[in-house]
Amino acid sequence: MFDKIADKRIREAMSEGRFDHLPKRGKIDLDDYFKTPEDWRMAYSILKSASCVPEEVELLREANRLESAHAAETDPEQRAVLARSLAEARLKLDMALERLKRERARRDAGMPDSL
């Protein structure tokens, strides 16, 4: 009930322009907030504030870090080491994304989670 009242007041304030002159205007995407299912918003907010991210995001960050390091490295031996690490990171990311895709498909089909 509180969430519905808060959502209503936020929407009213937005339509009245009360947020138009805030210091961080344009840096907060409220559309994502309202796209998140109502019963998940608080949990996501807490996890985001604690800098907790899904495994897939961590793997993506690691792959991006390795890609940048590989691009900047000039030593051929180090580039080879980084290339192997990057390939491994990309494989882990691909596997995690595929697992997530399967889990969502199962959930959407009403099937129980796999063991």
pLDDT of residue 114: 56
pLDDT of residue 73: 95
The H or E element spanning position 106 is helix 76-108
Percent of the chain's residues with pLDDT above 90 = 35
Say yes or no to pLDDT of 65 above 90: yes
Question: What would the mean pLDDT of 92-100 be, rounded to a whole number?
Answer: 92
Say yes or no to pLDDT of 28 above 80: no
Long-range contacts of 56-61 (CB under 8 A, 24+ apart): 56/93, 56/96, 56/97, 56/100, 59/89, 59/92, 59/93, 59/96, 60/93
Say yes or no to pLDDT of 115 above 60: no
Residues 6 or more apart whose CB falls under 8 angstroms from that of 44 comprise 36
Say yes or no to pLDDT of 21 above 80: no
Structure tokens at 92: 């882990």
